[in-house]
A and B are shown apart, each in its own frame.
Chain A
Amino acid sequence: MARLARLELSDDEVQRMASELSHVLDHIEKIGELDLEGVPPTSHVVDVTNVLRQDVPVPSFPREVILAAAPEPLEGGFGVPSPGASPE
């Protein structure tokens, strides 16, 4: 789970977090006892649909602004360690 979340946890942290989370989950799992047959999930809170924008350009940021916060500006882009051949 930590890997999915890209978090590195020390052994201590793993133990502590596992127990904290299972404690929280025990409490949370009570919702499994409810009868929710046929109840639609709320995937969207606001009751609107089709919020669309016209296909007209809006000025982009200037390049210097875009790269200003880059930890590793490289060749006009954002430098990173080379990934393996494909997403992990």
Chain B
Amino acid sequence: MSEILDLTAAAAAERVRAGELDPAELFDAYRERAAAEELNAFTWVADGPPANGDYKSAPLGGVPLAVKDLFCTEGVPSQAGSKILEGYRPPYTATVVRKLAEAGAPLLGKTNQDEFAMGSSNENSGFGPVLNPWDRTRVPGGSSGGSAAAVTAGLAPWAIGTDTGGSIRQPAALCGLVGLKPTYGACSRYGMIAFASSLDQAGPLTRNVTDAALLFSHMVGRDHCDSTSLAFPGELAPPKAQDLNGIRLGVPEELTGEGGGIEPGVRENFEATLKVAERLGASIEPCQLPHAPHALSAYYLIAPAEASANLARFDGVRYGLRVDGDKDLLTMYTHTRAAGFGPEVKRRIMLGTYALSSGYYDAYYGTAQKVRTKISDDFRAAFERFDFVVTPTSPWTAFELGAKTDDPLAMYLNDFCTVPMSLAGIPAISIPSGLSDALPVGFQLAGPAFSEQRLLDAAYALEQAIGFDGSSARR
């Protein structure tokens, strides 16, 4: 059993394809652990392996996949962490999940998340918080907290999540995993329950860079059901860089400077990681992203605005929760939504509605979209001098449950290093770079649009040199 669990997803796939490992056995090993878990990482677990599982010729070798609950999975509950969708079973499957299943990664279970992907700690779920396997009094990060906890604790070999402002990268950092947010448009959003349409992206959460690259390569591709999806240029090859020779890394002062609020332990680890990079041949210099300090503000206007419209469909008419359907229409609407949405979702809907309202649009949403343009410009300028921009992924390690729930603003600050990349639509990866007070720390690399191959290669080189071992969390 533990032998199976120790296999990385890529290694397991190879064994299956070589006929050395029975995919059903692999599935059951994980399924049992998932079903017995105590982290509240899963909201649904499959009963058993898929019936006709012949994975010998499947690229992903039948390695089971944990899927964040907001991906629609036909006939299987897809609740987006919200009571308003409790028990909802969609009649179709998200494109990305379908592609992965076709490539040989069957659905193991649906993972818990912050409600409608709004949150950075997975404490906003309508189905209870998720616990961090490294320390169960602490949060795993969010919003893809369930996916992160599942992979970290060895309940799933790999998982997919979604990243809107950091929701893959930040939990990856807090849980010691690799998390990749792709270029906006690289993966189809069809079937992903929408939070912020111009920011949401699906991505892998895995134990290592090789697994992430493998999973990612089967997620990309233009989808005719998603008008904003793009064809990924070129083929993605497994990463194998051994060094960072000639790679220029830029460290943005605005995000990593003293006033940034980065925890000392995280800062220490960041500096140490930069040294590792240097030893691998990278050059490190400061870079400017002048509008980065405003990224959080722009994000917290744009994302809630789009969300307020995306969540308007939850009205009790066609699916999901309905409250007081025997009263008048307005009452049904307001009571259904009041009962079904948690406080963070309500906050953001209100904020978003306000940002778009007549008289305020220009000052809020309109201005935020201009700030967004400037942030994209800043990155473009930076990438003329640097290959990648690097930052700590999260300003702090996993905090205690309940530590930030009273102060929304404090919670929003979790994302200040990850949000700028989301606004610019550029790819960014977080890799575990060590521990601080026995808790994982993440290191983020961001590159220009469609630079995922080079990003994965650089991350791989760094990962090999760092030698992070997350197996202790995989009891």
Chain A bound to chain B: yes
- Give A residues with C-beta under 8 Å from B: 1-9, 13, 17, 20-21, 23-25, 27-32, 34, 36, 39-46, 48, 51, 53, 61, 65-66, 68-72, 78-84, 88
Interface check B195, CB cutoff 8 A:
no
A–B pairs, 16, beta carbons within 8 Å: A1-B353, A2-B350, A7-B350, A13-B346, A23-B408, A24-B408, A30-B297, A32-B367, A40-B370, A46-B185, A69-B320, A71-B320, A80-B332, A81-B326, A81-B332, A88-B330
Of chain A, the residue at the smallest CB distance from B334 is A8
Show the binding face of B for A, using Cβ within 8 Å: 88-89, 91, 184-185, 198, 224, 227-228, 230, 291, 294, 296-298, 300-301, 308, 312, 315-320, 322, 325-335, 337-338, 341, 343, 346-347, 349-351, 353-354, 357, 363-364, 366-374, 376, 408-409, 412, 425
C-alpha spacing A27/B369, complex, angstroms: 17
Which B residue's beta carbon lies closest to that of A82?
B329
Complex CA distance for A34 and B417, rounded to whole angstroms: 20
Among residues of A, the one whose C-beta sits closest to the C-beta of B304 is A24
Q: Known: A31-B298, A36-B370, A41-B369. Is A21-B329 also a contact (CB below 8 A)? A: no
Complex: how many Å from CA A30 to CA B354?
Answer: 16
Instruction: Output the least CB separation between A10 and chain B (Å).
Output: 8
Asked if A6 and B333 sit within 8 Å, CB to CB, the answer is yes
User: Using Cβ atoms and an 8 Å threshold, which residues of chain B touch A39?
Assistant: 370, 373-374
Contact B346 A9 (CB under 8 A): yes
Residues of A close to B224: CB separation below 8 A: 53
- Contacting residues, chain B, for A24 (C-beta < 8 A): 300, 351, 408-409, 412
Q: Which residues of A contact B317 (CB under 8 A)?
A: 71, 78, 80
Q: Are B329 and A81 interface neighbours, CB within 8 A?
A: yes
Contact status A28-B301, CB under 8 Å: yes
Let me know if A36 and B374 touch, CB within 8 A: yes
Report yes or no: B325 in contact with A5, Cβ–Cβ below 8 A.
no
* Chain A interface SS verdict (over half): loop
Interface of B is mostly: helix
Bound complex: CA of A52 vs CA of B343, how far in Å? 39
Asked if B297 and A28 make an inter-chain contact with CB atoms under 8 angstroms apart, the answer reads: yes
In Å, the complex CA distance between A79 and B322 comes to: 11
User: Bound complex: CA of A37 vs CA of B278, how far in Å?
Assistant: 40
A56 to B44, CA, bound (A): 37
Of the listed residues A2, A41, A78, the one surrounded by the most CB atoms of chain B closer than 10 A to its CB is: A41
Which residue of the partner chain, among B325, B328, B343, B373, contacts A42 with CB atoms under 8 Å? Answer: B373
Across the interface, B91 reaches (CB within 8 A) one of A28, A41, A68, A79, namely A68
Do A78 and B297 have beta carbons less than 8 Å apart?
no
Q: A69-B89, A69-B318, A71-B317 are in contact. Are A42 and B372 (CB under 8 A)?
A: yes
CA gap between A7 and B297 in the complex, in Å:
24
Chain A residues whose C-beta falls within 8 Å of the C-beta of B367 in the assembled complex: 31-32, 34, 36
- The docked-state distance in angstroms from the alpha carbon of A68 to that of B412 is 38
State which of A2, A8, A40 has its C-beta within 8 Å of the C-beta of B373: A40
Beyond A48-B230, A88-B330, whether A78 also contacts B318 by CB under 8 A is yes
Q: Assess the B329–A83 pair: CB atoms within 8 A.
A: yes
Closest to A48 in B: B230
